[in-house]
Amino acid sequence: MDLPSSAPGPSWVGALLLLGPQILALWPAAAVEIHTSRGEEALNGTNIRLKCTFSTFSPIGPQLTVTWNFRPEDKGSDESVFFYQGQPYPLLTGRFKDRVTWDGNIHKNDASIVIWNLKPTDNGTFTCQVKNPPDVSGTIGEIRLSVVQSVRFSEIHYLAVAIGSACALMIILVIVVVLCRYYRRKRQEKSTEMVETEL
């Protein structure tokens, strides 16, 4: 007696099992990318905006969090600076109490903060981390802050001084040339008058 042949199963199930790992491998990794400046320099007693922008694969929602931390220059333990989830949560204690304000806009992928009244003890590294579930992994932005007593000259300042000096030198040369021609003309006119008088 012949056995009944088994009914063929859905072909898409086999295809899914076969191609599933390849499709997942090609799918973009769910990770938040952070963009910050590598270093900042500011004058003691002034304020500074620490810029932190991010990109995420998931739509921005109420679960998005922004965490700012600080690592002192002496390599001490990390300290909390600021937290955001739906609204800003400034610190109630610590060195940054009443000195940090939210200056970002998560709908524009901006998680920046402002630190007021900088002090030499603020020298160190600030970190910015953004999580937007399911994008919860990714890079952490770092900004090395140097608080100085006086602004040091940068390459741009030196370039500005060089250009300004060159312009000033050109103006002086033009003035000297004009004055030389003026006095030469005056001498020629005086000589001409003397000749005419003798004649």
> Cα dist. 85→38, 65, 101, 121, 185 in Å?
25, 5, 14, 28, 79
pLDDT tens digits for range 43-84: 999 999 999 999 998 999 899 999 999 999 887 789 999 999
How far is it, in rounded angstroms, from Cα 185 to Cα 178?
11
Average pLDDT over residues 168-178: 87
- Is the whole model's pTM more than 0.75, yes or no? no
Q: What is the pLDDT of residues 150-172, one digit of tens each?
A: 765 555 666 777 788 888 888 99
Instruction: Name the one residue in this structure whose structure tokens are 């590598």.
Output: 38
Q: Looking at 39-154, list the stretches that DSSP marks H as alpha helix, in order from N- to C-terminal side.
A: none
* Averaged pLDDT of the chain: 82
Sequence-ordered list of residues with C-beta below 8 angstroms from that of 189, at least 6 positions apart, any chain = none
Task: Say which CATH topology domain 27-148 has.
Answer: Immunoglobulin-like (2.60.40)
